[in-house]
Amino acid sequence: MGYPWLLLCFLCLAPHLPEVTAWKASCKNPYYGKCYGIPHNCPPGCPRLCEVDCRICKPYCPCDRPGAVCQDPRFIGGDGVLFYFHGKKDRNFCLVSDSNIHVNGHFIGKRSKKGRDFTWVQAIGILFGSHRLYLGAKEVGKWDDSSDNLLIQLNGNYISIAARAGETWWSPEVGLRIRRTSDSNVVVIEARELFNIAARVVPITEEDSRVHGYDIAHDNCFAHLELNFKFNLFSAKVNGVLGQTYSHGYRSRVKMAAAMPIMGGAKKFASSHIFATDCSVSNFGSKAAEVDGGKPLSIVCNGGGTSGQGIVCKR
């Protein structure tokens, strides 16, 4: 008698149960002919955003790979260890600093009822050589998957790329290539012999807000970046929230048994601007001692709110 009643209850409730539809992803590298273009359902851990490892022809969650910066900032270090770094809202923090590259992250967020800030990485500022690359999420009220909310600048100039998967912007002088891997909100940025960064703009959904207690209002979905960094070469002095985890002999200081292993040290990673190199662990430009009086290069910027518009910088 129990089984029919259980079945009837399930059928009655089914229309009201939340539905999570798995999106599909495919290998986009034609070199892997047997895998190229074959659609795969995204894994349960990331049903709406995944990528395919062409070598083994299986989908995976980008946020679970070394070099990932996602969510409330959840990092996967170069050593493969997961940790959180909350920082503070409306502040900038040094994510990576080495002699030839410096990456700052601009954090947005809101105060939680528990007293700390809920934070997300809204933008990154990358210094390499004499160049400044800005990548950020625009401020968005109501999220629309079809709208492109990426903002990209190189040396203060906006970069426009047609909203179509496969479209590419390329600067041979700078050695920089930016390629869309989706019609909107997803790009891969490559700098010759330096880095490869996959970046996605994502919102805080109503479900995210409910589950985590973010209490997000309907007029701001806190659009932010999810990032995957790959670096070609580091010196022994590499530092930063993420960069330190690539240092030879690095041992993680987070409590691995904790439900949320948190990386501290916000003060030493703090930067005055998204393009500043004044965090205490900075060593950007350290090879250019003869040129810059032995001090790390610094860039002073004015303007630019959380959307990053109107940035004016000079050395």
Residues 174 and 189 sit within 8 Å (Cβ to Cβ) = no
Q: Which amino acid is at 249?
A: G
Q: What whole-number distance in Å separates Cα of residue 263 and Cα of residue 116?
A: 14
Phi, psi dihedrals of residue 205, rounded to the nearest 5°:
-85, 165
Per-residue pLDDT of the chain (315 residues; tens, 9 = 90+): 444 444 444 334 433 333 344 588 899 888 999 999 999 999 988 887 788 999 999 999 989 999 999 998 999 999 999 999 999 999 999 999 999 999 999 999 987 776 677 899 999 999 999 999 999 999 999 999 899 999 999 999 999 999 998 999 999 999 999 999 889 999 999 998 899 999 999 998 888 888 777 777 777 899 999 999 999 989 999 999 999 999 988 989 888 778 889 999 999 999 999 999 999 999 998 754 333 333 333 333 333 333 333 333 333
CA–centroid distance for 220 within its chain? 19
Q: How many residues does the chain have?
A: 315
Cα–Cα distance, 97 to 86 (Å, whole number):
19
Residue 97 dihedral angles phi and psi, to the nearest 5°: -145, 120
pLDDT of 23: 81
192 Cβ contact list (under 8 Å, min separation 6): 175, 176
Residue where the block lists tokens 């909100």 = 185
For residues 23 and 312, give the distance between their C-alpha atoms in angstroms, rounded to a whole number: 40
Closest by alpha carbon to 50, among 184, 222, 186, 178? Answer: 186
What is the spatial distance between Cα 281 and Cα 241, in angstroms, rounded to a whole number?
Answer: 10
Comparing CA positions, the residue from 303, 295, 297 lying closest to residue 315 is: 297
Return the HEC string of the chain.
CHHHHHHHHHHHHHHHCCCCCCCEEEECCCCCCCCECCEEECCCCCCCCCEEECCCCEEECHHHCCCEEECCCEEECCCCCEEECCCCCCEEEEEEEECCEEEEEEEEEEECCCCCEEEEEEEEEEEECCEEEEEEECCCCCCCCCCCCEEEEECCEECCCCCCCCCEEEECCCCEEEEECCCCCEEEEEECCCEEEEEEEECCCHHHHHHHCCCCCCCCCCCEEEEEEEECCCCCCCECCCHHHHCCCCCCCCCCCCCCCECCCHHHHEECCCCCCCCCCCCCCHHHHHHHCCCCCCCEEECCCCCCCCCEEEC
Q: Which pLDDT score is estimated for 254?
A: 87
Contact 187, 161 (CB under 8 A): yes
AA letter at 45:
G
pLDDT value for 299: 34
> For residues 195-220, b (16+ Cβ closer than 10 Å) or e, as one string?
bebbbbbbbbeeebbeeeebebeeee
Looking at residue 22, what is its pLDDT?
58
The predicted structure's pLDDT at residue 287:
56
